[in-house]
Amino acid sequence: MSRRKIGEVMRLSPVIPVLVLDGSFDPVELAETLVGAGLRVLEVTLRTENALKDMEKMASVEGAVVGAGTVLDAVMLYEAMDYGAEFIVSPGLTEGVARAAEDKRVPLLPGVATATDIMRGRDMGLDHFKFFPAEANGGLPALKSLAGPFGGIKFCPTGGIREDTAQEWLDHPNVLCVGGSWILPKGDADLKKVAATARAAAAMKA
Ligand SMILES: O=C(O)C(=O)C[C@H](O)[C@H](O)COP(=O)(O)O
């Protein structure tokens, strides 16, 4: 599994829920709900106290492909791998994180915001990126402009994307999936609502 390429992970479902787990849900029940709704790829942000342990539990759910988000350095990457992360998402791109991912042979989705970021990534042999923060960084017009010189690059725009804007991002040929926290809004502990939102997201077309 860890040999799966990031492009394959990005093609598994159109939306990657960005999960900030604050203890409102049992992680296994949440993962089962999301996978049952059709969202197999789950990003657990390493921002909360129990994130690593919760991620490990979610990874045990059949069909779930669980990765760690908010990975800021090599130490966090190694730690995430110890807890079963199958892919790594970072808000930015550093040589330290890229080298650690290479070393561990784990699929990496690093954040880029500019043409220079993408060129640095290309120099490291990467061609799939998170476009972050997508809306604040110029939105779809910015992505369209970047896709001109970088036609072969594939993106997962994340940051500020909502249920009602996700499909227009997905319609762009260089976009394989989008990331977003709208599937699990802060403070909303209703699993039925989460399931309905996740089903709508899973029905979107990349
Ligand atoms: O934690 C990380 O690694 C991040 O890079 C940030 C997340 O991707 C965004 O917080 C999701 O954006 P929203 O959907 O606007 O909430």
* Amino acid 2: pLDDT: 42
What b/e readout covers 10-40, taking b as 16+ CB neighbours within 10 angstroms? Answer: beebbbbbbbbbbeebebeebbbbbbebbbb
Mean per-residue pLDDT over the chain, rounded:
96
Query: Per the structure block, which two tokens stand in for 34?
Result: 């999301």
At residue 1 the predicted structure's pLDDT band, cuts being 50, 70 and 90, is very low
At residue 189 the predicted structure's pLDDT band, cuts being 50, 70 and 90, is confident
pLDDT tens digit sequence for 27-50: 999 999 999 999 999 999 999 999
The domain 6-202 is placed in CATH, from the list 3.20.20.70, 3.40.718.10, 2.40.110.10, 2.70.240.10, at 3.20.20.70
Residue with tokens 């990031």: 6
Helix intervals (H) in the chain:
6-12, 27-36, 51-59, 74-82, 95-104, 115-123, 139-147, 166-170, 191-202
CA of 5 to the centre of ligand 1 (A): 22
Active site residue 86: no
Q: Is the CB of 157 under 6 A from ligand 1?
A: no
52 touches 192 (CB < 8 A): no
pLDDT tens digit sequence for 80-122: 999 999 999 999 999 999 999 999 999 999 999 999 999 999 9
Mapped onto helix, strand or coil, the DSSP state of residue 186 is coil
Atom of ligand 1 nearest to the CA of 132: 5
CA of 20 to the centre of ligand 1 (A): 9
Q: Is the CB of 70 under 6 A from ligand 1?
A: yes
User: How large a percentage of the chain has pLDDT more than 70?
Assistant: 98
* Amino acid 187: pLDDT: 78
Q: Is the CB of 69 under 6 A from ligand 1?
A: yes
Q: Is the CB of 132 under 6 A from ligand 1?
A: yes
Q: Closest Cα to residue 41, out of 110, 112, 89? A: 89
User: How large a percentage of the chain has pLDDT more than 90?
Assistant: 95
List of residues 6+ apart from 58 with CB closer than 8 A: 27, 28, 30, 31, 42, 44, 64, 66
Cross-strand pairs, 131 = 112, 157
Here the ipTM equals: 0.93
CA of 155 to the centre of ligand 1 (A): 15
Cross-strand pairs, 41 = 65
* Amino acid 3: pLDDT: 59
